[in-house]
Amino acid sequence: MSRKPRRRGASSALAAGAALNRDGAAAGAYRSTRLDNGIEVVTEAMAGVRSVATGVWVRQGAALDPPGMAGASHLLEHVVFRGTERRSRRDIALALESLGGSLNAYTAREHTGFEARVLGRHLPDAVDVLADLVRRPLIREDDVDHEREVVCEEIAAVEDTPDDLVFEMHGDGLWGGHPYGRPILGSRETLAEMSRNDLAELHGRTYTGANLVVAAAGAVEHDEFTELVGRWFGDMEPGEEVEPVDPPPRPTRGTTTVSRGSAQVHIVLGHPTRGQSHPDRYPLILLSAALGGGMSSRLFQRIREELALAYAVYSYQALYRRAGVCGSYLGTRPGCGSAALDAVREVYGELAREGFASGELRRTKEQVKGEIVLSLESPAARLHRLAGFALVGEAFIPVDELTRRIDRVSEGDILRVAGEVMDPECQYVLCLGPEDADPAQADGQDWR
């Protein structure tokens, strides 16, 4: 996980960015170069900013962890911060913070990211530090033992946060053992089995040129940045690109209730979708926005404003290379779970049968396009977009082409995709809460 506090939706930022992020930057602001060893270097210059966001992404994430080593990618992400050949852990912490910058890292399903934000004149320092972390971590046994304990505390934090835990449990149930449902943190049992040699082998095999994307956005000049990347990364071995996971099998359907002490019943509904490069992502994001993307959305108006059954209710989506998932979340008090779930299913059923109401498609298109542009006013947001395209080998989509693709979504597209992913009979629902919670009869599961 990120070395900073998580926010909901972070795990899907790159997937959404690959589909939908681009604003009105000047023509030619985006550039890409591939080094001889396979590293892809991508940049987007932004006028009027003094800062730059830069990062290194590795095509190795939780879904790609070796058999029996769930959580290895995330543990490795932690361990590299314990020290490199040139810097102690304190040196790493001070390297950019002493310049007013920041350094962060996170692990996702299909990649690991290391990011820095600095003033433009400190970009060489940021690339130096990132190269040190990615290329030359010491991976000492004591460091592995130390970070194993830290990750166990992360696992405990998730266990104490039911609106996080319910998503992990839902993913595990939905994907039926497929790596897309694997907890990014792993488990105490898998972590206990990992050795220093296991992590060193994983690092040596996957942190190679063929698996790297190096990007920068903001106050950056492409040729100068490419020269910097070549200086610090150019002598890396190309290695072999990590193969994507196999497509997931038929997903689970139905409802599962898991007993656990809490003040609310936490409910997640989800349905698999096609992968992040599929053209159905455009009607899908419009459907998600209309369903639970804001105060005017159907779920918010029905569940919170009309029925007062929840404080938090929203839609979500996470798109991966082979598949994705879309759905919704709500938290409600014990005794109201059935009423809330019935109301959500009613909203879903209306969308699946009828599609959008008159004028709703036009309004939703404007909402989504506006949110895209507003979301990209920082170098960090554009950095994630750059990495999102490059990691899946997808061509960059300029803003005029993006808006055309959104505007080309028809009522028929909406009705077709809604019928596929919003039919209540095709959903998998997981309810986490007190033993007397009522969305479904307790099925004997007890989470500890």
Annotated catalytic sites, by residue?
Answer: 77
Burial (CB < 10 A; 0-12, 13-18, 19+), residue 235, is exposed
| Selection from 329, 335, 267 nearest residue 300 by Cα | 329
> Could you give phi then psi for residue 121, rounded to 5 degrees?
-70, -15
